[in-house]
Structure 1
């Protein structure tokens, strides 16, 4: 006999509740320990910022050669004469493409799974608390308010974690714009310096993201464990025994 739709939905809710409780009691502490250990590795510790610098593979072309001929009028663009105008080449990439910063790309590859896990875990906790909010009634809503406050904190963490992905994509867009300036104006060292400064900033941002992920797991674990009884049973039966 096939299960009814209501039974399937209820099984899903029960399974989600079990996963969420296991995540809070065992999963979060394990993640916190793992993230602390990761933050102590050479990826994030004892790294000189110059380690994240990378050659742009954009050589500086030779400057324009001065001519001894007397200056004449500027040649017309539509002139049919074979006038040769020498100048400095731009957008010249004789060595091939400009690669992404490999040290930072490797670090981003390491950080992104933890961002995704925080989003997924926050979403799981959000649904878990939502399923335990009781029906709307008058009175005895102190536990419900705790559920709602905890739910708001989890939603905030979920949104903040999702924003970390946008931060990574903005880095690549910003770097591409500066690198295009280097290709267009290869003689201007400020653009090359700007690329190095941006790479250093992104490294510090990735370190900060990992710290924030660890801190968010700690804060979510703390607030849920402290209020676990009220979250699971927002309305006590003590009031009913008085009547």
Structure 2
């Protein structure tokens, strides 16, 4: 270290981090939150997220999984009863090695893979980055407010109560955004379970209908998530800007002259 140079201690680095965080957090509140409100509102009013396209978002009923042929007991359509083992082998395509599927209860997807709902997945891909950014931004605002809370003292705590109320709202938004992210991920695994049910019980139409209902529910949930995040951003911006003076300086310097 050069002679006379000041050592950079962890405390100095922490103070520098707090100053940078304060600048970034205020920028998030004043600039990013309003931009996010406008961006999300434009998405909700666009044709891509409109309820009018809901029928087009639902999966096809066959899901690329054919329904089993019905056995008709008639003189014109006589079907020989095939032993269970032979029937299993008869449904296997000729180009598939039967030994690779021996012992499984699901014969296989003879028409190829079962695709996910690409239209719903596209909407999720648009929504998920917004939620990730929301968690990151709100967390910075939370830390900024926490650093502004003064030490505990008797009296003159009105400004501190405003800080705590704002902090509680910020934490709620952060928790909900993280929960929405988890909800987006769980949709695919839940839908996959229903698809395997259709493959295992292709003759049960309720499973096929359940997948369509799940796709419809997911679209509604995506709109609800976007609506909630738009409202949260607008509420946080409004609450913080209206009480910014008390949040930054919760205690008056001349409070002692009031008595």
Q: Which residue in the other structure is 1:176 paired with?
A: 192
Could you say which residue in structure 1 is the equivalent of 2:52? Answer: 47
Structure 1 CA distance for aligned equivalents of residues 194 and 79 of structure 2: 36
1:117 corresponds to which residue?
Answer: 133
Cα distance, 1:46 vs. partner? 5.2
Deviations 1:104-135 (A, max 9, x none): 11110000011111111110111000010011
The aligned residue for residue 60 of structure 1 is 67
Instruction: Identify which of 153, 164, 167 aligns with 2:180.
Output: 164
Counterpart of 2:212?
Answer: 196
1:26 corresponds to: 31
Report the Cα offset of residue 64 of structure 1. 4.9
Secondary structure of 1:43's counterpart equals: helix
Q: In 1, Cα distance between the equivalents of 2:231 and 2:169?
A: 13
Asked if the contact 2:149/2:163 (under 8 Å) is kept, the reply is: yes
Work out whether residues 61 and 186 of structure 1, in 8 Å CA contact, stay in contact via their aligned partners in 2.
yes
Gaps of 5+ in 1: 76-82
- Aligned equivalent of 1:151: 167
Aligned-residue offset at 1:57:
1.3
Q: How far did 1:84 drift?
A: 6.2
Aligned length: 232
For the residues of structure 2 that align with 1:170 and 1:195, how far apart are their CA atoms?
14
Question: Partners of 1:191 and 1:34 in 2: how far apart?
Answer: 37
RMSD value over aligned CA atoms?
A: 2.3
TM-score (norm 1): 0.87
TM-score (norm 2): 0.82
Kept in 2: contact 1:65–1:86 (CA 8 A): no
Q: How far has the Cα of 1:239 moved from its partner?
A: 1.4
The alpha-carbon distance between structure 1 residues 107 and 68, as it changes in their structure 2 partners (threshold 3 A), is: closer
Is 1:231 the counterpart of 2:236? The answer is no
Comparing 86-95 with 36-45, greater Cα deviation is found at: 86-95
Cα distance change of structure 1 residues 84 and 152 upon mapping to structure 2, 3 Å threshold:
closer
Given that 2:72 and 2:79 are in contact with CA atoms closer than 8 Å, whether structure 1 keeps it comes out as no
- Which segments of 5 or more consecutive residues in structure 2 lack a partner in the other structure? 92-105
